Structure 1
Amino acid sequence: MKQNKAAIMVVDDDTAHRTMLKAHLADKGYEIVEADDGDVAIHLAREREIDLVLLDLKMKRIGGMEALEAIHAVKPDLPVIIITAFSSVENAVEAMQKGAFDYVTKPVDAAELALKVERALSFDSLRHENAALKERLGEKFDFGKIIGSSRPMREMFETLALVAPSDATVLINGESGTGKELVANAVHQNSLRAAEAFVKVNCAALHENLLESELFGHEKGAFTGAAEQRKGRFELAHKGTLFLDEIGDMSPTTQAKILRVLQEGEFERLGGAKTITVDVRLLAATHKDLLQMVEEGSFRQDLFFRLSVVPLVLPPLRERVEDIPQLAGHFLEKYSSKNRKDIRGIHPEALDALLAYSWPGNIRELENTLERAVILCLGEQINLQELPGPVRQAAASSERPFALRPGHSLKEMEKDLIIATLAQTEGNRTHAAGILGISRQTLQNKLKEYNLS
């Protein structure tokens, strides 16, 4: 909110009353723009940056009601407070029904006016923040490469939109194959460091000594084979983001060094005495229960608290079944293109099998399954026989892949059914509407309501 700097337009053809209002508001530090009638107010609303309009209802040339409608035709979100005589409150109520934010009665009480102005500006600021957040959520979904519209994913997108622009350390926890690296990349790409380096290290893939050298670098001759000086990942990520995957596999010695960098922003290369200072945002991920490891003594408590400033938990695929058709469609398109095949959809029986299977390997397993199916497929549809045995067995033992799930609303189940039906009809909305027993227009409206259009 631009409190004490906001521009307020005072519209009143009574010069004395307008001057009095101006004096009250100027004392609060607001910038005042004056208009002596509705026609002037409409012009100024088009031409000037105005945060709030204080609008008298009774004026000679163009009254407040007409001016309100004309102003909102140009700037529909501009808050307007109506000024009216006490005997004409019903007119103010009518104005509020037409979009006015609030009203004050003459004679205007200065304290009441100040309170209503502040409230209107606060509300307007909140509305803009919410609009920006919604736009940001749209960006995440559109080009974050993170696919899903289920409730767990929507909640995660909301958290990402809030945490990405900050510099907070993020701990991403989730089973193997849930997409932790994708999330880390999305955080970086939507941060203020997006133009800088995004450096990744898999802590489980390197021996302890190699990991320390990889992270902090080494000087020439620091150990056998160190033929030259080498910068570590922390230095390479200076001003950018460092992503430490599987941080639960890190030794206590390396944990202590990581803690120092987080606390002090400094370290020494292996075999070196020079202290190096870096500015790095740290993202970490693990499939392990770090809190349990803290209790067992295998992970430092102080490092755990430093890492989990913002904890993110990625849901396993079995807890976001409604996202499977969308994910499967994405992988089908990806691997059909890669293998130069014209595969146009997934047979309903095969889709039922994908929905029934528990996916212990999560999204990675689903991707591998679709890649294999595309390679084996000889027709235009992925069929049941092209899926692995465990997936086919899941379909055989599950009669209702869309059984009701406790905790899901009717709207969520309706959305699931629409997604599945569209997958069965290969996106043919007319056919899907027929199966669902609704008109095509009703289906279109539902798709728009659930952000699926």
Structure 2
Amino acid sequence: MIQIALFSVDRTLQSLLSSALGNEFEVFLAPTEDQIKHMVSIGDCNLVLLDLDSHQESLEQGLQCSLRILTTQVPLIVIASDALRSTAVELVRLGAYGYCRRPPSIRDLKTMLIRAYESSSLKRELQNVQQRLGATNCSHRLIGSSPHMQRVYDLMQRVANINASVLVTGESGTGKELIANGIHNMGIRSPRPFVAVCCGAIPESLIEAELFGHEKGAFTGTVGTRVGYMEQAEDGTLFLDEIGELSLSTQVKLLRVLQQREFSRLGSNRLIPLRARLIFATHQNLDDMVTRSTFRQDLYYRINVMRIDAPALQDHPEDIPQIVAHFLRQYSDMYQKPMVGVEPSAMAALQAYVWPGNVRELENVIQRAIILSRGDHLLLEDLPCSIQEQNVVSIADFQPSNSFERQLRDYKIKLAMTALRECRGNKTLAARSLNISRAYLHRLIRIAEPDMLSEADASIVEAHRSAMETV
């Protein structure tokens, strides 16, 4: 039920609105400023409806109270006769949600009240999400406002409060653990533990004991009982990174745990319920692993209920300035070297670079540049040579046709075209077969000249360029 505080002295208006608006609204009369302020301060109303005409005798006092209401999160809607229309419009200009003529059209007023309530609810929800994300350490936040990142944020919000398995995929260094941590912090499990486990860092002989725990004497060398990661996570979140590194025998046991939602420590028959929510991550292509029988298909279907793809940094270079600014603040404070910003040529080089190591590599580069910097701005000369050279790669386009640089470039383009033909135009597979990034493959296609291409290759290049223009 939507609770409305009617700032008016007209009890007849209250009775009219209470009966006309229906059961989904509850209208409370607040004739004085003290009463309306009290209702707003204790959260006893969702909306404030200001009857401007009932305050004509003390209009200035009513307006001052209205302005104070506008500083709160409670939406204000004004109803006024034509004589006070200009005052009502001015309140809307200053932040009131809307204005209705008096006597109000019940249908129009009802629509406005519902929209104001929904808008206010969405704003509060957004603030709650931002506060939860802000509660985490600033160095453990996702950064970026590009369409790629907006899609990630949207999926994170959708799954935050749903107890379903999530699979986060993406290249190394793209922030898969940050996504998992963000999902945890945005959901109702945020007060509970977040336990992150890198499956590839644990020897195969110990992975089961680490995940499930063990009793004293369960196997040679155990001197006591150990609580496994699944118990440590309690009612929180268990994040299993590099899930593709698990052996087939461990995959079978993990599958059974996910199906039964219970497990037992090694050396014990006592079943322990799995209360934690599980999030998985990998940089490997699990579809290919399933095809090669190195990853169980049934486990794949069990963990891939909801999938979030962490974009490679080169796929959203427009976010690089924001990410650089974040690392600049973080590490300039850490190294006690105040930094104001980044020189435009250096930023252009950072955005042009391929970034095979993604955000993790960018973080390393900014750390190094801050240490090397002699001033309060990062310069192009502070960056690694491999990044500085991005600004002069295009010089190869102007080399004589028989120069070494030109021949090397043409050879790379021919390799790229061959890989694209063999992969039937699939750029992701072609890049993987050449062991280069997809972004670098895009660059090779972009600089390919028509006179060096066959008719089939030319059609591939044309299709690629058309697709990029569309995007």
TM-score by length of 2: 0.66
Residue of structure 2 in register with 1:404 after alignment: none
Code of the residue aligned with 1:264 in structure 2: it is Q
Residue of structure 1 in register with 2:419 after alignment: none
- For 1:136, which of 104, 121, 129 is the aligned residue? 129
In structure 2, relative to structure 1, the CA distance for the partners of 1:316 and 1:66 (3 Å cut) is same
Note the C-alpha offset of 1:273: 1.2
1:22-41 → structure 2 map (5 Å cutoff): 22-24=18-20, 28=23, 30-34=25-29, 40=31
CA distance in 1, matches of 2:188, 2:169: 23
In structure 2, relative to structure 1, the CA distance for the partners of 1:264 and 1:64 (3 Å cut) is farther
Residue 323 (1) aligns with residue 319 (2) = yes
In structure 2, relative to structure 1, the CA distance for the partners of 1:236 and 1:131 (3 Å cut) is closer
Note the C-alpha offset of 1:147: 5.5
1:335-350 → structure 2 map (5 Å cutoff): 346-350=342-346
Cα shift readout 1:162-221 (whole Å, capped 9, x = no counterpart): 544554433222110112223323333444333332222111223433212211112333
Residue of structure 1 in register with 2:269 after alignment: 273
Cα shift readout 1:6-44 (whole Å, capped 9, x = no counterpart): 2453846474x654544455x726444236xxxx25553
1:43-54 → structure 2 map (5 Å cutoff): 43-48=34-39, 49-52=44-47
CA distance in 1, matches of 2:152, 2:255: 27
SS at match of 2:206: helix
1:250-399 → structure 2 map (5 Å cutoff): 250-294=246-290, 297-332=293-328, 334=330, 346-374=342-370, 383-398=379-394
Residue of structure 2 in register with 1:127 after alignment: 120
Contact 2:251 2:296 in 1 (8 A): yes
Residue 224 (1) aligns with residue 248 (2) = no
Cα shift readout 1:306-340 (whole Å, capped 9, x = no counterpart): 43444322221112323334434544555566566
Code of the residue aligned with 1:44 in structure 2: it is Q
1:61-72 → structure 2 map (5 Å cutoff): 62=56, 69=63, 72=66
Contact 2:144 2:323 in 1 (8 A): no
Code of the residue aligned with 2:113 in structure 1: it is A
CA distance in 1, matches of 2:113, 2:64: 20
Note the C-alpha offset of 1:285: 1.2
Cα shift readout 1:240-269 (whole Å, capped 9, x = no counterpart): 221111112223333343334334331112
1:103-252 → structure 2 map (5 Å cutoff): 103=100, 113=106, 116-117=109-110, 120-134=113-127, 136-137=129-130, 140=133, 143-145=137-139, 146=141, 148-151=143-146, 152-161=148-157, 163-164=159-160, 167-252=163-248
Unaligned runs of 5+ residues in structure 2 are 396-471
Residue of structure 2 in register with 1:78 after alignment: 75
SS at match of 1:209: coil
Code of the residue aligned with 1:121 in structure 2: it is I
CA distance in 2, matches of 1:353, 1:128: 43
CA distance in 2, matches of 1:163, 1:144: 22
Residue of structure 1 in register with 2:464 after alignment: none
CA distance in 2, matches of 1:224, 1:273: 18
Note the C-alpha offset of 1:360: 0.6
CA distance in 1, matches of 2:222, 2:363: 40
In structure 2, relative to structure 1, the CA distance for the partners of 1:64 and 1:278 (3 Å cut) is farther
CA distance in 1, matches of 2:211, 2:165: 17
Contact 1:218 1:230 in 2 (8 A): yes
In structure 2, relative to structure 1, the CA distance for the partners of 1:232 and 1:350 (3 Å cut) is same
CA distance in 2, matches of 1:33, 1:325: 50
Of 262-271 and 117-126, more deviation after overlay is shown by 117-126
SS at match of 1:9: strand
Cα shift readout 1:333-383 (whole Å, capped 9, x = no counterpart): 555665666776655544433222101111222233334445555676655
CA distance in 2, matches of 1:73, 1:375: 50
Of 243-252 and 333-342, more deviation after overlay is shown by 333-342
In structure 2, relative to structure 1, the CA distance for the partners of 1:276 and 1:257 (3 Å cut) is same
Cα shift readout 1:254-303 (whole Å, capped 9, x = no counterpart): 33433343343311122321111131121221112334444555444454
CA RMSD of aligned residues (A): 4.0
Code of the residue aligned with 1:355 in structure 2: it is Q
CA distance in 2, matches of 1:240, 1:314: 22
Note the C-alpha offset of 1:230: 1.9
**How many pairs does the alignment contain?**
381
Code of the residue aligned with 2:277 in structure 1: it is R
Contact 1:144 1:186 in 2 (8 A): no
Code of the residue aligned with 2:69 in structure 1: it is K
Code of the residue aligned with 2:314 in structure 1: it is R
Contact 1:7 1:52 in 2 (8 A): yes
CA distance in 1, matches of 2:344, 2:281: 36
Residue of structure 1 in register with 2:6 after alignment: 9
Of 369-378 and 192-201, more deviation after overlay is shown by 369-378
Contact 1:244 1:282 in 2 (8 A): yes
Unaligned runs of 5+ residues in structure 1 are 400-453
Note the C-alpha offset of 1:50: 3.3
